[in-house]
Amino acid sequence: MVDGYNPAGIWAPNGRSFQQGVIQGDGQVVHVTGQVAWDADSNVVGVGDAETQLEKAFDNVRVILEAVGGRLDDIVSQTIYFVDRDDLPAIQHVRSRHFPAETAPVSILIQAAGLVIPELVVEVVPIAVVPHDRFQQPA
């Protein structure tokens, strides 16, 4: 679980799914490559739909973390790249489903001119800390 905080005296997240700071706990740090809405055969899921694409990207992240004993709530930091500013409400909605505001990771949103192929509209790059008691070497 994320040990986050939001100190007084700076701007507040106002219920959005991120923290101003996260204290990295004891565990194995796992850096995950950028995940997009590709299925196991590299087909795009949800062409043009940021909500569906971010859900698929988080599904991919979940599989990667589970391979080492991790979970989505082990994510301490995430960078999300998106193409269309109009997709921000959908992105916020998906983040809030996976990360309650009280325990959410720190988060960076970056608007990009495009991603690796035109059909992709969102990409997530997470860093997780998997506690030692759950961590396992990947098969």
Where are the domains positioned within the chain? 3-130
Cβ contacts of 30 within 8 Å, gap of 6 or more: 64, 65, 68, 70, 74, 127, 128, 129, 130
Confidence of residue 11 (pLDDT cuts 50, 70, 90): confident
Domain at 3-130, CATH class: alpha beta
What is the rounded distance in angstroms from the CA atom of residue 16 to the CA atom of residue 51? 16
| pLDDT value at residue 15 | 75
| pLDDT value at residue 6 | 73
Tens-digit pLDDT profile for residues 75-113: 999 999 999 999 999 999 999 999 998 889 999 999 999
Write out the H or E segment, with its range, that includes residue 90. helix 88-98
Strands 106-111 and 122-130: what pairing? Answer: unpaired
| pLDDT value at residue 101 | 85
Which region, left, alpha or beta, applies to residue 86 given φ > 0 means left and ψ of -120 to 50 means alpha?
A: alpha
Indicate if the pLDDT at residue 2 is higher than 70. Answer: no
Which pTM does this prediction carry?
A: 0.90
Q: Please state the rounded mean pLDDT for residues 19-39.
A: 90
Strand, helix or coil for residue 81:
strand
What is the rounded distance in angstroms from the CA atom of residue 13 to the CA atom of residue 3? 15
Tens-digit pLDDT profile for residues 36-71: 999 999 999 999 999 999 999 999 999 999 999 999
Least confident of 11-15, 45-49, 89-93, 118-122: 11-15
| pLDDT value at residue 1 | 62
